[in-house]
Amino acid sequence: MVKKEDNTEGRLTVTLAGLRLDNPVIPASGTFGYGKEFAELYDLDILGSISFKGTTVEPRYGNPLPRIAECTSGMLNSVGLQNPGMDAVRSEELKDMAEIFHKPVIANISGFAPEEYAKLAEAMDKESQVGIIEVNVSCPNVHNGGMAFGTDPESAAEITRTVKKATGKPVFIKLSPNVTDIVSIAGACEDAGADGLSLINTVLGMRIDIRSRKPVLANKVGGFSGPAVFPLAVRMVWQVAHAVGIPVMGMGGISSAEDVIEMMMAGASAVQVGAANLRDPFACRKIILDLPRVMDSLGIDRLEDIIGIV
């Protein structure tokens, strides 16, 4: 748990679409599972929230192996939304999460048609643990869906409207960086009723094994994440946060308390930590415990005071 003195008078607290978080640090979907493995290492209630593994209507095995590759200052993945499916997540995973995390969670959902997004949103709307629904229209590792909806303003808006009709919970649309103009897509989602935005998802990348003369990943291309994408993420969060009037969750290469503060200065109301969890399972805990020290060194009294100051 966060020591009381580390969050005196709400220094670390932030608000997302009416949801009050003890701190802005959230493990990103797909990098923290449902928290079970991490709960064996530390008390997860130190976290602001958890965006759990992306859920589809039907179970998915994901893409063929190999689907993970190391890169300089980052990693490639083409996992392909592996998950047990909506019904198993509701009947098993969420019940287990409630035993190890006692705050509202973020339900990350992904579909291959508007009707699937609606079905997922209706299902997650019934779960009391779910505080926010995060709509993935930006996954680069699935075919005929995912990112296809997030690369066009009208398609992204259609999914936003569909999900908003199916739930009364706050809806955040997770945007892709693999577009020409992310601001226009963000604006279309806001106009369609989105309560917030999450960005960025992974950047399309590729590695080739020069000995075998074949792509390293079975899927050939995958999502590139890690510290190398952080400047790109900061730029896009800054652009979007200053163009819309809804909160933004910033992500992309965050691995330190300094990164959190930089991302919030760019305009993020909260942040998600992704690849860092795979490199160090204590990453989120370390960042949260280090935030008060870094804030003191920079003369920051409350994190909410620095959101979008640049």
Q: Which residue has the tokens 């035993």?
A: 99
How far is it, in rounded angstroms, from Cα 138 to Cα 93? Answer: 24
Residues composing the chain: 310
Q: Which residue has the tokens 């060194």?
A: 297
* End-to-end C-alpha distance for the chain, whole angstroms: 31
Q: Do strands 74-77 and 68-71 pair parallel, antiparallel, or not at all (unpaired)?
A: antiparallel
How far is it, in rounded angstroms, from Cα 261 to Cα 270? Answer: 10
Residues 6+ apart with CB under 8 A from 166: 117, 118, 119, 121, 122, 125
Active-site residue, 284 included: no
Please give the helix or strand (H or E) that residue 215 lies within, else none: strand 214-215
Q: Which of 71, 139, 189, 284 is catalytic?
A: 139
Eight-state DSSP code of residue 91: I
Asked if 223 and 178 count as a contact pair (C-beta separation under 8 A), the reply is no
Asked if 268 and 248 count as a contact pair (C-beta separation under 8 A), the reply is yes
Q: Extract the tokens encoding 285.
A: 């805990």
Eight-state DSSP code of residue 60: B
Cα 92 to its chain centre, rounded Å, is 22
Neighbouring C-beta atoms of residue 190, cutoff 10 Å: 20
How far is it, in rounded angstroms, from Cα 5 to Cα 310? Answer: 28
Active-site positions? Answer: 139
